[in-house]
Structure 1
Amino acid sequence: MIVNTNQLIANIKENEKQKRDLEIRALQAQINPHFFANALNMVSYVASLKKEENIVQMIKSILALLNGCMKNDNSLITVKEEIVFLENYFSLQKARLLGSFSVQYDVDPEIMNYLIPRFLLQPVVENALIHGIEPSGKAGIIVIKGTCSAGKLHFSVTDNGVGMDQDQINGLLSKNNTNEKGRLSGIGIANVSQRINLLYGPEYGLRINSVKGVFTTVDIYLPLTPNDGIAD
């Protein structure tokens, strides 16, 4: 009994130590991004003094993206917030790629206040840009549409990049491909598809249609989730 009691005490102490370590790591994880944000704000201030407006705009976009990344990926945000997030993402990518692509938005204003999972569209447009348009070597176009149809939210992301065959599509959506990650959010397309299925059921999710060398369209189907004060 004494041995068991001593072992129990030792286990409790070890659990408490692990808990403290996790709490410290969690606090550190909060400090590092905020330190980075503060540093960027200082660079932005110096750039504004030197009238480097293009640098100021890039830093503003980075800060907006960083703010989104610091939040809980599983939280719900409005469609409007996700579109703003995409605009900041594209702003940085256009600077990197010297404006070699354009983006067209066709999102119904009526759906802007509905709620969707955070980082829903960003991994899809990132895939369109990085794996579709960039390898094509031609002027790229990404078209983002959003509407309400048959009681569901329907988004589509279309690019005129290199396209995919059916085997590539199957691989992209495979459950075995969950380690594939986006560069910004750390969430890949397979993760997005499975997250939607887990949150809302198999009747929702992603559908990919593509013609090799011509285009790729990713359709996303979600339930209508009204904003009841969860997000602004």
Structure 2
Amino acid sequence: MNSIQKKILLLTSLVLIFMSSIWITLTYYNNETHKQYNEILKRYLTMNDVTTASQQSIADLNSYLRKPISSNIIRFEHSKENVRKAKRDVLKLENKANQFTLTTYVSLIDSLVETMDRSVIFFDENNQEASAKEFEEATRISSYISEMTLTLLDKELTTYDIFYRGIMQQAEEVIRLGIWLLLIMTAILFIATYWFSLSITRPIQQLTQAANDLSNGRFKKPIKVESNDEIAFLAKTFDRMRININNLIGEIKHKAQLEHELQQNQLLLQEIQFKSLQSQINPHFLFNTLNTLSKKAYLEGSEETSDLLVSVAGILRYNLKQVDRSVSLREEIFVLKQYIEIQKARFTDRLHVRYEIDEDCLFVPIPALTLQPIVENAVIHAVEPKVEGGQLIIRVKDLQNKVVIEIEDDGSGMTPQKMEEILQEKPVQLEGHSTGIGFPNVVKRLRLFFGEYDVIRIESTQGVGTKVMIFIEKRGVKQDDESLNRR
């Protein structure tokens, strides 16, 4: 066990011992006092029960004499039994001080029971006058019992007055004892706390001084702490850290020199790459050339070729303008139609496309080049492998708070593994004649753009077809051109 833990346990043990001692002492005296109070109170209540039982029995007897029914006689017998029980309880209270009075008191109770019994007997024999006389006698005895109860209570108060004063004095002594115990415990805790804190704060001050030296850059000064607990171990660890930092500073200086040389090499490499780019074909030149070829084909009567060149030029212009920007769904659909026209020129009657577009939903923003890679994937995997070709359905639907874009084909479908790879944004092998923008890349861009994971879903059944659904929230989508191009 470590030294600081031993000190804490010792201090805690002292506190627990003193607190337990005080608690046990006070609890013992408190229980004794409660027992004495309860004994006195029990004597008073027992005597009072006699008065209550005698009065109740007189009342029940009167009820029976007025209305002699079975329920009243049962109630009277019950009250009479309570009187006998009260008498037995009173007999337990006998002592030298109340012996004579208590004997007379018990005799009165017996007389009360006998008188009430005679009243009932006369009543049952239809001797109303004798019964009434006995009832009056029982009432008078009940009054005597009440008066004698007060006499007994007065004697009890006189007898236990000295005892009560002793209890009060004992309570005062307990309070004084508690105060002394608290003072002693406070003094001991103060001394123990001072000793405990001094054994910790002094090494911490030495460690703090060493930390100040390190903060001022004096890494060569050894760290020494005079202690035999965990702080000494901390000081040794701190000293090893000082040595490691000193060595690390030397390594950082060496790495900084290497990084400077690397930056110089990177600048040289960028210059080489820039010169390499200069030697490539200018995309704008290619765009202008396509426009020229389109006009020439139109003038020569090749209108279909001219339209095809216009679509290619439109896609090229769209790609040049919309890099890293958002566009409206209307623009994306327009360019998608140009791409499909190019594919129709390739597949002729094998490619069938149906549009179901809600024009009121075309204002929502979407990342550029989102729909074309999805349609391209459908053309490559759903239309091209089939001799008879295939059908694509492009829908834009309004679902209250959302706009849903669906691209559905009737191809051979995807395997669950393939759908999982796409939704997990895993790179896939690109087809040789694709545009180079992968389906997983589209998924990643949509999630980044809208800040939601469940923005795209794929439903596919092998041998039936595949449906790709994109969900766009309507909130805050009616934006101006500046907000549309913020990304």
With the length of structure 1 as denominator, give the TM-score of the two structures.
Answer: 0.83
Q: Does structure 2 conserve the Cα–Cα contact (< 8 Å) formed by 1:103 and 1:142?
A: yes
Show the counterpart of 1:228.
480
Larger % of helix: which?
A: 2
Show the counterpart of 1:188.
438
Alignment pair present for 1:128 and 2:389: no
Q: Does structure 2 conserve the Cα–Cα contact (< 8 Å) formed by 1:133 and 1:161?
A: yes
Q: 1:188 to 1:215 in 2, by over 3 A?
A: same
**Superposed displacement of residue 64, structure 1:** 0.5
Q: Secondary structure at the match of 1:104?
A: strand
Q: Secondary structure at the match of 2:355?
A: strand
Q: 1:111 to 1:24 in 2, by over 3 A?
A: farther
**Superposed displacement of residue 191, structure 1:** 1.0
**CA distance, structure 1, for counterparts of residue 271 and residue 479 of structure 2:** 37
Alignment pair present for 1:163 and 2:391: no
**Superposed displacement of residue 211, structure 1:** 1.2
Long gaps (5+) in structure 2: 1-256
Q: Does structure 2 conserve the Cα–Cα contact (< 8 Å) formed by 1:58 and 1:92?
A: yes
Q: 1:13 to 1:134 in 2, by over 3 A?
A: closer
Show the counterpart of 2:219.
none
Q: Percent of aligned positions with the same letter in both sequences?
A: 29
Q: How does 1:1-232 map to 2 (within 5 A)?
A: 17=268, 20=271, 32-176=282-426, 178-181=427-430, 185-224=435-474, 225-230=477-482
Q: Stretches of 4+ moved more than 4 A in 1?
A: 6-29, 179-185
Q: 1:140 to 1:9 in 2, by over 3 A?
A: closer
Counterpart AA for 1:213: G
**CA distance, structure 2, for counterparts of residue 221 and residue 159 of structure 1:** 18
Q: Does structure 1 conserve the Cα–Cα contact (< 8 Å) formed by 2:390 and 2:411?
A: yes
Larger % of strand: which?
A: 1
Q: Does structure 2 conserve the Cα–Cα contact (< 8 Å) formed by 1:75 and 1:118?
A: yes
**Superposed displacement of residue 180, structure 1:** 4.4
Q: Does structure 2 conserve the Cα–Cα contact (< 8 Å) formed by 1:65 and 1:85?
A: yes
Q: Secondary structure at the match of 1:136?
A: coil
Q: Secondary structure at the match of 1:131?
A: helix
Supply the RMSD in Å over aligned alpha carbons: 2.9
* Paired positions, count: 228
Structure (1 or 2) with the larger CA radius of gyration:
2
Q: Does structure 1 conserve the Cα–Cα contact (< 8 Å) formed by 2:367 and 2:449?
A: no
With the length of structure 2 as denominator, give the TM-score of the two structures.
Answer: 0.42
Q: Secondary structure at the match of 1:135?
A: coil
Q: Secondary structure at the match of 1:222?
A: strand
| Cα deviations by residue, 1:78-135 (Å, 9 ceiling, x for unpaired) | 1111111111101110111123111111121111122111011111111111111221
**Superposed displacement of residue 184, structure 1:** 5.3
Q: 1:165 to 1:18 in 2, by over 3 A?
A: closer
**CA distance, structure 2, for counterparts of residue 204 and residue 26 of structure 1:** 39
Q: Secondary structure at the match of 1:43?
A: helix
Show the counterpart of 2:240.
none
| Cα deviations by residue, 1:24-63 (Å, 9 ceiling, x for unpaired) | 666777x621111122122222212211111101100100
Higher relative contact order, structure no. (Cα contacts within 8 Å, ≥ 6 residues apart): 1
Q: Greater shift after overlay, 186-195 or 9-18?
A: 9-18
**Superposed displacement of residue 20, structure 1:** 4.9
**Superposed displacement of residue 192, structure 1:** 1.0
Long gaps (5+) in structure 1: 1-5
